[in-house]
Chains A and B, each alone.
Chain A
Amino acid sequence: MDPYKVLGVSRNASDEEIKKAYRDLARKYHPDNYVNNPLSDLAQEKMKEINEAYDQIQRERSGAGSSQSYGSAHSSGSSGGYNAYQQDYAGYQSSTSPEFVTIRQYIMNNDLNAAEQALARSQNRNAEWNFLMGSVCVRRGWYDEARRYLNTACRMDPANREYRMALQNLNMSNTYYNAQRPMGTQDDFCSCCAKLWIADTCCECMGGDLCRCI
C-alpha cells in the first residue's frame, strides 16, 4: 500500500507537511476518541496503518532526523475503553457472585440481550448490578441511561475503582470533535471599543466618567 496515500499527501510533500498530516490523522483516530464506541477495534487498525505508513516514509527519506513515529507509543499502549473494561473484568472476578460472573462473560462476548435478561432476573440489586447495567447501556450507545446506572453504582460503592473508571470514561469527551466545533459569536475589537464608548457616555450623562480620554 502506498504510504503517501494513507497519509493523504503528495509524493513530493515536504517533511513538515508529512508530519502535519500524520499528526492530524493520529489525533483523529486516537483511541481516546473511541472509548465509548464499539468500533474501537477498527480505529486501532487505522491507527496502526497510519503509524506504519509514517515509519515507512521516514525510512525512505532517511535523511530526516527523527525516524521514530511519535505515535508508536500510542499503538503499543493503546488501551481503548473496551479493552480497559475487559482487563478490569479479569482482575475483578474473584470478588463477585457467580451470577455476575456469567453476566460479565455475556458482556465480554457482546451478547447484550442475554446479559440484560440475566440482569432483569437477578434479585441482587447492589452496586455491581448497577455497574453491569451501565456497561450494557454503554455498549448500546444509551448514554443517558448508562450515566444514571454508573452514578448509582458509584454512589453505592464510592471506593470501587472499576466503577469510577467506567464513569470517567463515559464523561470523557472527544477532544478532536470539540476542536472542530464552530466558534460562538465573539465580539470583535471594534464592537468592544464601541461598547466602551457607550458605557463611558452613559457614565458621563450621570455626571461620572469611565474613561478620561474619551
Chain B
Amino acid sequence: MYGYVRPYKGELKVREYEQYRAMYCGMCHALERRCGFGARMLLSYDMCFLAMIFSGVLGCPMEVCRRRCPVSFWRRSACTALNKAMELAADSTVILAYAKACDGILDEKGLKKLAYRVYRALLCRKYRKSAMRLPAFASACEENLNKLAQHEKDETPSLDKPASCFADMLAALSEYVPAGQRRQARQLFYHIGRWVYLADAWDDVEADMANGNYNCIAQRFELRSPGEKESVAGEIEKTLAFSAQVAAASAELMELNSWAPIIRNVLYQGLPAMACAIRQGQTKQRSSKHGSL
C-alpha cells in the first residue's frame, strides 16, 4: 500500500516503540519466509499495522528473537517471531501489491506503465501462491479492482464511490478474523481503506492533474488548476477525520491485547498527523514514504 498508516512517534512509550520496531523488522523476515526474498521490498508501515491488528485479534503471543537485518547486516535487530497473524499479513501484502500493480498499468502512461508491467510480472508467481492461500481475499480484490477501474474510466465525480471499492478490498480481510470480532474488524478495515484511498488521492492531486490522470478529489470538486488544492483542504480533512473517528471507535470495541496502545496511537494520533503532513506537502519533500515500490 502506501505507507500512510503509521504511529505518531512522539506519543509512543519507548517500550511500545521497541515493540513496534520488532513487528516492523519481524514483518520483513516474515515476508521473506512466506513469499521469497524479493517480497521484502513490499514491506510498508500499512502492512505492519495489519499485522498488529491480526496479532491482536488472533491473540498470537509475542515472541522476540534476534535476526540479522539484510540492510545493515552487522546489526542483529529484535524481531517478532513468525506467527499466524504475520503470515496472514504477509500474504495480503503480496495480494494488495499485485492489485496496485494492476491498477498502475491501467492508470499510467508511457514509461511508468512499462515499469508497472515489469513489477507485475515479477510479482506474478508470488501472487499466485498467496492467492491460493487466501482465495476469498484475492477474488474480492479482483472484483473491486474492476469496479474501481470502471469508476476511473467514467471519471466518476464522487469521493465515496471509488474510495469504497478500495475500502471493500481491505474489508474483505475481516473474513480471517474470529467471528466474535468480525463486524468490528470489517468496519475498522473499511474505514482504514477509505482513509488511505482518499489520503493518497489528496497527496497526488497536483501530480494527477498535471499528467491528466483520474483523481477523485479533482473530479468531485471540479478543480481546474493544481493550485486549487488548498481551497478544498477543509472538506477533505473533515471527510478524513470522519473515517479516522469511525475506525478508532470500532477498534475500541475489539480485543487487541498487547497491541492496543500502539494501534490506538496510530488511529488517534498517527492518522491526523499524517493528514497534516499531506496538507503541508511534507510527504513529497523527503523520501519519508515507506510504501511498496
Interface, chain A (partner B; CB < 8 A): 28-29, 33-34, 36-39, 42-43, 46, 137, 140-145, 173-174, 177, 180-182
Residues from chain A with Cβ under 8 Å of B158 in the complex? 144-145
B37 on the interface (CB 8 Å rule)? no
Residue of A nearest to B246 (CB): A37
**Contact assessment for B239 and A143 in the assembled complex, using a CB-CB cutoff below 8 Å:** yes
A140 to B161, CA, bound (A): 11
Residues from chain B with Cβ under 8 Å of A141 in the complex? 164, 167, 187, 190-191, 194, 243, 246
**Contact assessment for B253 and A43 in the assembled complex, using a CB-CB cutoff below 8 Å:** yes
B85 on the interface (CB 8 Å rule)? no
B272 on the interface (CB 8 Å rule)? yes
A140 to B242, CA, bound (A): 13
Would you give the shortest CB distance from A146 to chain B, in whole angstroms? 8
**Contact assessment for B187 and A34 in the assembled complex, using a CB-CB cutoff below 8 Å:** no
Interface, chain B (partner A; CB < 8 A): 8, 10-11, 158-161, 164, 167, 183-184, 187, 190-191, 194, 220, 235, 238-239, 241-246, 248-250, 252-253, 264, 268-269, 272-273
Q: Which of B183, B238, B248 touches A42 (beta carbons < 8 Å)?
A: B183
Residue of A nearest to B187 (CB): A39
Residue of A nearest to B276 (CB): A184
Would you give the shortest CB distance from B279 to chain A, in whole angstroms? 12
A36 to B250, CA, bound (A): 11
A174 to B11, CA, bound (A): 20
Q: Tell me what chain B mostly uses at the interface: helix, strand, loop, or mixed.
A: helix
A36 to B159, CA, bound (A): 18
A–B pairs, 25, beta carbons within 8 Å? A29-B252, A33-B245, A37-B246, A39-B183, A140-B160, A141-B243, A141-B246, A142-B161, A142-B164, A143-B238, A144-B159, A144-B160, A144-B239, A145-B158, A145-B160, A174-B248, A174-B249, A177-B244, A177-B249, A181-B272, A182-B8, A182-B10, A182-B269, A182-B272, A182-B273
A181 to B158, CA, bound (A): 28
**Contact assessment for A39 and B184 in the assembled complex, using a CB-CB cutoff below 8 Å:** yes
Known: A144-B160, A177-B248. A36 touches B268 (CB 8 A): no
A137 to B239, CA, bound (A): 13
Residues from chain B with Cβ under 8 Å of A181 in the complex? 268-269, 272
Would you give the shortest CB distance from A52 to chain B, in whole angstroms? 17
Residues from chain A with Cβ under 8 Å of B245 in the complex? 33, 173-174, 177
A93 to B158, CA, bound (A): 31
Residues from chain A with Cβ under 8 Å of B183 in the complex? 39, 42
Would you give the shortest CB distance from A57 to chain B, in whole angstroms? 22
A33 to B246, CA, bound (A): 8
Known: A29-B252, A46-B253. A37 touches B187 (CB 8 A): yes
Q: Which of A29, A38, A142, A182 touches B187 (beta carbons < 8 Å)?
A: A38
Residue of A nearest to B244 (CB): A177
Q: List 6 additional A-B contacts (Cβ < 8 Å) besides A180-B269, A182-B269.
A: A43-B253, A143-B242, A144-B220, A144-B239, A145-B159, A177-B241
**Contact assessment for B220 and A37 in the assembled complex, using a CB-CB cutoff below 8 Å:** no
**Contact assessment for A177 and B159 in the assembled complex, using a CB-CB cutoff below 8 Å:** no
Residues from chain B with Cβ under 8 Å of A42 in the complex? 183-184, 253
Residues from chain A with Cβ under 8 Å of B268 in the complex? 177, 180-181
Residues from chain A with Cβ under 8 Å of B273 in the complex? 182
A144 to B10, CA, bound (A): 31
A38 to B250, CA, bound (A): 9
A149 to B292, CA, bound (A): 37
Would you give the shortest CB distance from B251 to chain A, in whole angstroms? 10
**Contact assessment for A173 and B187 in the assembled complex, using a CB-CB cutoff below 8 Å:** no
**Contact assessment for A182 and B11 in the assembled complex, using a CB-CB cutoff below 8 Å:** yes
Would you give the shortest CB distance from B113 to chain A, in whole angstroms? 30
Residue of B nearest to A28 (CB): B252
A145 to B198, CA, bound (A): 14
Would you give the shortest CB distance from B110 to chain A, in whole angstroms? 32
**Contact assessment for A39 and B249 in the assembled complex, using a CB-CB cutoff below 8 Å:** yes
